[in-house]
């Protein structure tokens, strides 16, 4: 029999201790999570790059529509100015567009109130708080 003590080879998995295996498993888990995070970052950057051109187009359309509305209202005021005078025409267009804007904002505010929860959700939350 050979009385020499063999030193474990680090590259041989059979000679690794449980602590070494757990350490290796944790390192591989970190690497996996890091790779997943990197993948999702790359997907998000890819999608943002593709959407950037669409966003630029939408901003351009908003500016064009704004210019078209200004031209329309100026033409409307000028057309009404011949009938009722320039000051009255401006006031009429202001009153009509202001009224329409008020109704749109009021409707939008009502819809945005849903962000704070509807009546059923608030009632459920209140009932849950009372039980706790």
Helices 18-84 and 86-112: crossing angle, nearest 10°?
A: 150
Tokens for 96, please give them: 């009509």
Say if residue 42 is in the same domain as residue 64: yes
End-to-end CA distance of the chain: 72
**Confidence grade of residue 131 (pLDDT, cut at 50, 70, 90):** confident
Say if residue 91 is in the same domain as residue 130: yes
pLDDT (tens digit per residue) in 2-47: 555 455 555 666 667 888 888 889 999 999 999 999 999 999 988 8
Report pLDDT for 1. Answer: 47
Question: Where in the sequence is the domain holding 61, given as residue range(s)?
Answer: 15-84
Instruction: Tally the domains of the chain.
Output: 2
Say if residue 22 is in the same domain as residue 69: yes
Report pLDDT for 94. Answer: 94
Say if residue 70 is in the same domain as residue 21: yes
Higher model confidence: residue 4 or residue 52?
Answer: 52
- Is the whole-model pTM more than 0.85? no
């Amino acid at each position: 029999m050979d009385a020499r003590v063999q030193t474990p080879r680090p590259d041989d998995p059979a000679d690794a201790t449980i602590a070494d295996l757990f350490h290796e498993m944790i390192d591989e888990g970190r690497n996996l999570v890091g790779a997943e995070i990197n993948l999702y970052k790359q997907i998000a950057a890819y999608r943002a790059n593709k959407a950037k051109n669409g966003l630029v187009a939408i901003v351009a359309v908003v500016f064009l529509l704004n210019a078209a509305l200004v031209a329309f209202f100026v033409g409307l005021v000028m057309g009404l100015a011949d009938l009722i005078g320039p000051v009255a025409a401006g006031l009429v267009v202001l009153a009509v567009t202001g009224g329409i804007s008020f109704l749109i904002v009021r409707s939008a505010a009502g819809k945005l109130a849903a962000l704070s929860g509807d009546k059923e959700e608030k009632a459920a939350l209140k009932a849950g708080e009372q039980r706790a």
